[in-house]
Structures are given as C-alpha cells and as structure tokens.
Amino acid sequence: MKKLKYILISFLMLAVLFAKAQTPKGSVLIKNATVLTITNGTLEETDVLVENGVIKSIGKNLTAANVQTIDAKGKYLMPGIIDAHSHVALDAVNEATAPITSEVRMADVVDPYDIGLYRALAGGVTISHAMHGSANAIGGQNITLKHRYGSGNPEDLFMKEAPRTIKFALGENPTRVHGRGNGNQPRSRMGVEAVIRNGFNEAIQYKKTWDTYNAALKQKGATPVPPKYDTRLQTLVDILDGKVIIHCHSYRADEIYALINTCRDFGITNIVFSHVNEGFKVAPELAAYTMGASVFADWWAYKFEVYYSTAYNAAILTENGVITSINSDSGELIRHLYHEAGKAQRYGQLDDEQTLALITINPAKQLGIADKVGSIEEGKQADLVIFEGHPLSVYAIPQMTFVDGVKYFDINEDDNDKRLRVSATDIIEPIFLKEHDHKCMHGVDFFFTNFGRNLFEHGH
Amino acid sequence: MKNLKNILYIFCLLMIPFMAKAQFDGEFIKPRNGKFLLQNATIQTVTNGIIENGSVLIVNGKIEAVGKNLLAGDAEVIDCTGQFIYPGLMDGGSRLGLVEVNSLPETQDFAEIGQVTPNMQALVAVNPNSIAIPVTRVSGVTTTLAVPSGGLFPGTAALINLNGYTPDQMYAGFKGVVLNFPSSARRSTWDRRSDEDIKKESEKAQKTLNEIWERAITYHQLKEANAELQFYPEMEQLAKVIAGELPLLVEVNAASDIVAAIDWIQSKNVKAILTGVAEGWRVADKIAEAKLPVVAGPMLSIPTRQSDRYDAAYTNPGKMAKAGVKVVIRSNDAENTRNLPFNAGFAAAYGMGKEEALKSVTINAAEVFGVADRLGSIETGKDATLFVSTGDPFETKTQISHVFIDGYRVPMSNRHIKLYQEFLERSPGLEKNGN
C-alpha cells in the first residue's frame, strides 16, 4: 500500500515536471514604469515583479535577487495586447465544404513558423484567437494562441487554459459560398438562420439518443447498441451545454438580431459577435444578451453589407454597455492594434481606460481568459509590453514584449531576419507587395475564379 | 379692392405646397463660401514656420491674409483659441471617388480592359457624390490623387479637391499618366505564380513596354512633323508624356525593379514620379541620385520580404528622405483615405520626424504635382484649402473642428457621424413602450 503511494506520488511529480517543462516561464523586474493596469488605473513610477511567468507584485521600490531588472523610467507598461479575431499562424482557414463543419479544428493547422507571430509580438500582441474562416454558417473550432515564437511545436503555442471556441458566420460569405457557389442552402439570411437552428435541433436529438443509450446501460443486463459518434453534432451539443464560446462573423443588424434570438431560444449565452459593423444599430440587444462585440476600428465599404457602417461603432457599443474589443482579422493590422484602438478616441472620444480595454481585458473576457490575462494584476500571467510613448499615441513604439515573463521581442535586439526556418523551395526570396489582409475568405477563392480578382482584394 | 382680396386668397392657396415642403425636420447644411476670419490659432504654415496667436483671412476662395491682429471687417469670425490651423492634407495616391463598394464590380470605375489604355481619364469617373468623400475630408484630407489601376498603362490620374458637384469643380490642376512598371514581385501573399512565371510575365511586359514606347515616340515625331495621323487615342496620350506635357507616374516596388525603372526613365528622358516604392529604402541613394520624387505608401503595410525587419514599411519614407529623396505619402486606399494622416504619423515616429512627415503630405505633394502656387502651405494668395484642429492632425485622438476647401466651409458631417448621432442613444432602446 505504501509502495503504491510512492509510485503514485512519483508519477504525480513527473506529471508536474512534464507540465512545467512544456513552455518557458520567465522572471523579470520592470522598474519605474508608468503602469497602465487597465483594471486598476494608471500607476506612475511603479515596479512590476514577475516570477516564473506570473505577476508576483506591483508596487514601489521592489527588489528581487537573481532576476533581470529592466529600467522602464519614462516608458509605459501595459498588459499584452489580445486579438480576438486573427488568422495568423494558420496553414488553412476555411473548410468550405458544408454549411456546418463544427468537427474541424484549427488546432490541427497551427504553423509555429509563421513570421506573422513575430510581427504581432513587435506590435505588442501576445495572444491571438486563431479562427476558422467565414465560409460556413457554423465553421470550425478555433484555438487561442500565446505567441511563444521560437518553438517548432504547434502545441507550445496553445493557450491550454483557454476555453473552447467556435466560428459562426452570417450574411454574404456563407450565402455566397454555399448558396451562390454550390446551389445549397443557405442562399439568404433566412437560410443562414435556418441552418443554425436546424443544427441545434439535430444536436438536441443526437444528445437524446446518447442519453437514452446511457440510461439503458444502467439497466442490469442490458446490451444496448451505442449510437454512432458524431464530432460535428457533439460539438453543437457542447455549445448548447455552455462549454464552447461562439465567435460569430457578422455585419448587418438584422442578421445579428436573428442569431441573438436563436441563441436565446436555445439558452445559449456564450456568444461574441465579430466584425459586427452594424452592431451599433442593435447595441442595447448586444449589451443585454451577449458577451459582446469584437469590431474593426474603421473598416467599411469593402463589400455591400458594410456600406452602412460607422467608425463610431466601438464608441457607440462601449457607451451602450456592450463588452467591446478591436480585432485585426489581418496579419498587417495585428501589428498596430494599439493604434486601431486609438481610433475610438478620434471617433467617439472614449477615455484612455475605455480605449485600452478594447485590446486587453475586453477581448480577454470574450475569449473566457479574463481571470488569467488582460490586465496587470498580481497573480495574472505576465504577458506585458513596454512602450515608448503612450500606446494610444500614433507615435508610440513598442519596445519589449513578454509572454509568461519571457521576452520574445526587444527593439534593441531585433535582428533583421527573424525567420525560424527558411523554406528550401525559396531559393529566391519572394517579394510580396502586400499581405492579403482580409483572410476570412482564405481558401475559398476557387469557388469564384469567374468573379474577377477584385472580389478578393477586400473580402473579409 | 375685392379683386385684391381674391388675388391674396389665391396666392395663399398657391403657397400651401411650399409651406408643406418646409415641414421636414432638421436643416441640411451645405458647403458655403464667403469671407471667414479664423482667429487666435497656432498656424502651422509649413513653409514659413509657426505663427502663434495668428489669424487667417479667407476671401473668395483664397487666403487673403495670414498674420497677427487681422481685422475681421465683414468676415464671419471663427474663434480658434487653443486650436491649430494646417494646410489641407494631400494624398499622393488613392481610389477615392473611383469606387463605392469595393467588392461590387458595378461600382468599380478604376480599371479598364486592356494593357495599354493611357487615355482612360480617372477624372471622368470621379463620383463627386461618393459617400466616402465627406467621410474623408472631415479628417483634414482635402486633396487626393485619383489613380486608375490595371494594365501596363491603365490611364491618367487626376488630382482632386474633396468639394464640388462635378469633376471639373473638384479638379485640382494636375494629371499624370500611370505606368505599372514590369514587376518581379508578387502582388500579394496570395499570388501563387511560380518564380519562372513571374519572370516570364515581367520580361514580356518589359518587351511590350519598349515596343509601345517606340511607337509613341514615332507617333510624337510624326505629329511634330505635322503628318496626318489616324485617330489613335492611346498614342495621343503617350505623346503628351514624350512632349513633356504630362509626367509618368511609375508604379514600382521591388528594389531591382526600381533600379530598372530609373534606368528606363533616364534612357527615355521623361519626366517621372516613382510611386509605391515599397523597397525604396534598399536603393534610396540611387533614387536620390536620379533626382526622382517618390509617392510612397501605405506605411501601414507588411514588409515585402519575410527576412526584413518588422518595421521596414514604417521606416521606408524616413530612410528615403534622409538619403535626399523628395517624399510624398499616399494611403493607396479608397474609403479609408482618411487614414493618410496616420500613415504620416507612423512615418514620423519611425525615423522621418514630424516636420518632414508633415511636408510629405502638404508642400512636397504640392511641389511634386506642380500645384505649389495654390496648395500645400498657409500663405497669402494660395487657395483657402486648410483645416482647424484641436492638435497635431497625425495624433489619433485629435479632433478636426473645421475644414475649408477652395474657401468653402464644408460641413463637419457625413454618414458615419449621422449614424453616431442616431444610434448613440437609440430610441426606442431595448424596450418599446415598456415591452
């Protein structure tokens, strides 16, 4: 018995060691910074001590032995920026073969070598929500990434503590791919709503068959035949059970309102609307029934469903009590989300704290990780950025970016070439004139070759 | 007497429809010209330093006077205490007005069919009533170069002011013929052509370019010799470039292409402006040596090569300016041309400096486009195309208070602002009549 206990304990210790060994955690003391805590105001000339990847203490005149000290006098320290809608570090984006593909997982296509991760770090972004595209009404399951750039193992990027999330999409994209592209439902916003409702109803039936089976199993001597396992439907069941957060690509007020009603009918409260250009038109409903809206600062008119947009969207939503974040959906824009957030001051004059929340604690709430990241608080993970200049100023320049207390970007140590590996096929390094910035429809262009390439110049 | 009464009665009846018309709610504010005195501002003249506590007098579309203690006379006084006056910002390249909704071909008027269409006039296709125009000008961007795109010679770009109801009312006095110089770069990260295909296409385009140019030279020579020529509108337009009447706007980005373009321009001895120049920093000395001005941007772009520093696009204009190149900045956008000042802000932060960045979107642009006698700075006699702001216009949180274009005070409103006014506190809100 005692022996067994020892064995068990040593196993447990091994497991702990193994878990610890998975991703690096750092310790650092940042001195004399103007600390933008987000949740507790601005602290002048303040020190932040990080131990083993976690914020240990915040205060004046902190000391620590054997820890690297960084003097940040005159500089700003803010929590790592969080992007609630990104496609950085993904090999594939759309599984555009059916209106519902909830069985698909973005965790399977994470590319840890994507230089986009480093560029995001150089813009102070420490966490991104790597999402499936918007081709399907119900798309694949997303993965929340911590930008631990340098590892070749995709799993090292996963934020394992983050809850599961899934991509939904409304409006032009799913109706174009399935209705106009393939001649299948949905072809209209009626169809999109029906596809989602039918999916949930089918999931309820599926759950019932398993409940019946499990109940039958408990009968003595029973030998029931198990139902066929279906990842697609099981994922929808998990949504209904509140285990998965929906992040829904959406633009128009009518489609947003329709999905809010669908979710209310099925008792779903874990839903965030993404892009949501016309969210401002249904701001009271978004505030009352959802986990908020993740918007662009000023993108509009790239397609018809965003023609009646306003750059004041983030301000209107915030003033109406909607949890609001600013996302990138772009490998270019992710590099200056602090500037994108600042636009909510140009358009709607939000105060600094409201504005910084758009890229920190608010997206953390929408990803279900606000207890771990998104603000500078003792006990939270040490994802931090040091800025020269206030981060909402157009002249701000990120200086250092830390994930779990480990420094992944330092402007003074930046080598020109930060690629982790060079492809053998790139004998001549390709020159790209622009990032294809709007990636939501990545991987579905083969449906539309006859539409002309301009369609995809702006095709979130 | 009774007759008069009847006439009055009939008159009143006739008035009824007019009275009914007057029952619309709200007043529509139109751009209006007149005499305005902008008082007590910090004036950033760009060309003559900063004037504290200064005033600008606007009369008949022009800047009548700039200085301290100007008398208002019968001018409408606008108090600008604590505020700043800047010349209107000029975008060196945009699609504003040439497209309404990007994905809808029905609204795309920036590209024509064919490789050689230099006679296509962007100015003709500018929609003065585009919803994006008032959205842009309230940011202080008053003047943009409307640039066509597409083939080798896609058309002729035109400089426009963002006020007016016809393209001619908007025209700001500069045109240039666009040449998409044969490119060895990929259009975007989605461009999946093989290296070989890119090379082949580039070589083919280079061959076409040289053939077309030879033909244009011949056309021009025959024309000069008063030969009777068949109607050939494409050559007619290119002959204007050869004659030095119009410059070429040479879109070129990869370093090796820039060098090739410089050689080509020098060998053809044409007046040219380089545009795009994403990798200009790699060959900045060569550009400076060739004394070619550049229109660079947008700064808010990814580096052209994965091995480049993350900030290569931010630092590009600063590096070129330091090498002695005259730099103009462009947004290369359409509906978000309003982001021009932020592009300039990034350029300023990453090495260009605020003063040079301001020049690049004002006086440099005016000089490069040959309109510095009318635009680009706050000087007596220039067009009253300027704006008032609460601070540095590149700074994100700064509010723009007034915009004047050609002396017209344009309304500080647009659809984005109207939607804000309607929906900030929606009525009904969540509940309607208590339900």
**Inter-chain touch A394–B395, beta carbons under 8 Å:** yes
**Which residues make Cβ contacts (< 8 Å) with residue B212, sequence separation at least 6?**
B116, B152, B153, B238
**What are the DSSP E strand ranges found in B105-152?**
141-146
Q: Kindly list the structural domains of chain B, giving each domain's residue range(s) and its CATH number in brackets, ordered by start.
A: 31-87+376-428 (2.30.40.10), 89-374 (3.20.20.140)
List of chain B residues whose C-beta atoms are within 8 Å of the C-beta of residue A299? 336
Tokens in use for B239? 């002959």
Q: How close, in Å, is residue B229 to chain A by CA atoms? A: 37
From the list A299, A304, A312, which residue is nearest B419 (CB)? A312
Using the Cβ of A237 and the Cβ atoms of chain B, whether some distance falls under 8 Å is answered with no
Confidence of residue A450 (pLDDT cuts 50, 70, 90): very low
Residue A7 has pLDDT above 50, yes or no: yes
Class of domain A81-373+431-456: alpha beta
Contact A419 B306 (CB under 8 A): yes
Interchain pair B399, A458: CB under 8 A:
no
**Every domain range in chain A assigned CATH 2.30.40.10:** 17-79+374-413
Q: What is the distance in angstroms between the Cα of A414 and the nearest Cα belonging to chain B?
A: 8
Yes or no, beta carbons of A319 and B102 under 8 Å apart: no
Per-window interface: A 262-281 vs B, CB < 8 A: 280-281
Burial class from Cβ neighbours inside 10 Å (0-12, 13-18, 19+) for residue B208 reads middle
Residues 6+ apart with CB under 8 A from A274: A84, A85, A131, A247, A248, A249, A250, A293, A294, A327
Tell me the nearest-neighbour CA distance from A212 into chain B, angstroms: 40
Tokens 């604590």 belong to residue: B82
Kindly report the nearest CA distance between residue A11 and chain B, in angstroms.
44
Mean pLDDT along residues B247-261:
97
CA terminus-to-terminus distance, chain B: 61
| Nearest CB neighbour to B307, from listed A303, A348, A429 | A429
Q: What is the dihedral of CA A358, A455, A279, A327, to 10 degrees?
A: -10
Exposure of B153 by Cβ count < 10 A (0-12 exposed, 13-18 middle, 19+ buried)?
buried
Nearest CA in chain B to A113: B306
Contacts of A431 in chain B (CB under 8 A): 184-186, 253-254, 279, 304-305
Contact A300/B at CB under 8 A: yes
Percent of chain B with pLDDT over 90: 89
Alpha helix positions (H), A308-433: 313-319, 337-346, 352-357, 361-366
> Region B21-34: what's the mean pLDDT?
88
The mean of the pLDDT values for chain B is 95
- What is the number of CB-based contacts under 8 A between chain A and chain B? 189
CB contact under 8 A, B345 and A394: yes
Q: How far is A153 from chain B (nearest CA, A)?
A: 20
What is chain A's Cα-based Rg?
A: 23
pLDDT value of residue A453: 31
- DSSP annotation of B225 reads T
For chain A positions 63-122, those within 8 Å of chain B (CB to CB) are 115, 118-119, 122
Distance (Å, rounded) from C-alpha A290 to C-alpha A312? 20
Write down the pLDDT at residue B16.
57
Chain A stretch 317-336, residues whose beta carbon is closer than 8 A to a beta carbon of chain B: 319-320, 331-333, 335-336
- The answer to whether A424 faces chain B, any CB pair under 8 Å, is no
Q: Which of A417, A432, A446, A453 to mutate to test the interface with B (most CBs of B within 10 A)?
A: A432
Interface predicted TM-score (ipTM) of this complex, two decimals: 0.94
Q: Which residues lie below 8 Å from residue A270, measured CB to CB, with a gap of 6+?
A: A239, A242, A244, A245, A246, A291, A368
Q: Say if residue A239's pLDDT is above 80.
A: yes
Please say whether the dihedral angle defined by the alpha carbons of residues A69, A70, A72 and A73, taken in this order, is positive or negative. Answer: positive
Q: Which residues pair with A28 in a beta bridge?
A: A50, A68
Question: Which of B423, B427, B435 to mutate to test binding with chain A, by most A CBs within 10 Å of its CB?
Answer: B423
Q: Do B307 and A419 touch (CB under 8 A)?
A: yes
pLDDT band with cut points at 50, 70 and 90 for residue A27: very high
Widest CA span in chain B: 96
Interface test with A, best of B299, B310, B350, B361 (most A CBs within 10 A): B310
Residue B35 contacts residue B73 (beta carbons within 8 Å): yes
Q: Is the separation of the CB atoms in A444 and A289 below 8 Å?
A: no
Is the predicted pLDDT of residue A242 greater than 90, yes or no?
yes
B4-14 per-position pLDDT tens digit: 677 767 665 56
Test mutation, B102, B333, B417, chain A, max A CBs within 10 A: B102
A51 touches chain B (CB under 8 A): no
Which among B340, B253, B252, B355 is positioned nearest to B300, based on CA atoms?
A: B340
Distance of residue A456 Cα from the nearest chain B Cα, in angstroms = 7
- Chain A residues in contact with B253 by the CB 8 A cut-off are 431, 433
Supply the DSSP symbol for A181: I
pLDDT of res. A2: 60
Provide, as residue numbers in chain B, all residues whose Cβ is less than 8 Å from the Cβ of A277.
Answer: none
Report the range of poorest mean pLDDT among A102-106, B21-25, B272-276: B21-25
Residue A332: which of B102, B300, B342 has the nearest Cβ?
B300
Tell me the pLDDT tens digit for each residue of A334-381.
Answer: 999 999 999 999 999 999 999 999 999 999 999 999 999 999 999 999
Question: Which pLDDT belongs to residue A451?
Answer: 32
pLDDT tens digits along A147-171: 999 999 999 999 999 999 999 999 9
Which residue spans of chain A are classified as CATH 3.20.20.140?
Answer: 81-373+431-456
- How far apart CA B26 and CA B39 sit, in angstroms, is 29
- Name which of B187, B303, B345 is nearest A395 (Cβ-Cβ): B345
Hey, is the C-beta of A392 within 8 angstroms of any chain B C-beta?
A: yes
Chain B contact present for A458, CB below 8 A: yes
User: Which of A411-415, A437-441, B347-351, B375-379 is predicted least confidently?
Assistant: A437-441
Nearest residue, CB atoms, B102 vs list A285, A345, A457: A457
Alpha-carbon distance of A253 to A65, in angstroms, equals: 56
Mean per-residue pLDDT over chain A, rounded: 92
Q: Which chain A residues contact residue B335 at CB under 8 A?
A: 300-302
Q: Which residue of B has its CA nearest to A287?
A: B430
CATH ID of A17-79+374-413, from 2.10.10.90, 3.55.40.20, 2.30.40.10, 3.30.2130.10? 2.30.40.10
Please judge whether B102 and A303 are an interchain contact, meaning their C-beta atoms are less than 8 angstroms apart: yes
Distance CA A324, CA A70 (A): 33
Region of poorest pLDDT, from A20-24, A180-184, A375-379, A403-407: A20-24
The answer, yes or no, to whether residue A448 has pLDDT greater than 50, is no
**A 337-356 near B (Cβ less than 8 A):** 339, 342-343, 345-349
Please report the pLDDT score of residue A6 as a whole number. 67
CA distance B244 to chain A (A): 30
CB contact under 8 A, B102 and A316: no
For residue B334, the chain A residues in CB contact (below 8 A) are: 301
Verify whether the Cβ–Cβ distance A339 to B253 is below 8 Å. no
pLDDT band of residue A454 (cuts 50, 70, 90) is: very low
- Chain B contact for A456, CB < 8 A? yes
Run of H or E including B40:
strand B36-44
Q: Does A458 have pLDDT greater than 50?
A: no
Three-state SS at B5:
helix
Inspect the interface and report whether the beta carbons of A454 and B103 lie closer than 8 Å.
yes
Query: In the numeric block, which tokens belong to residue A78?
Result: 């803010």
Chain B closest CA to A460's CA: distance in Å?
10
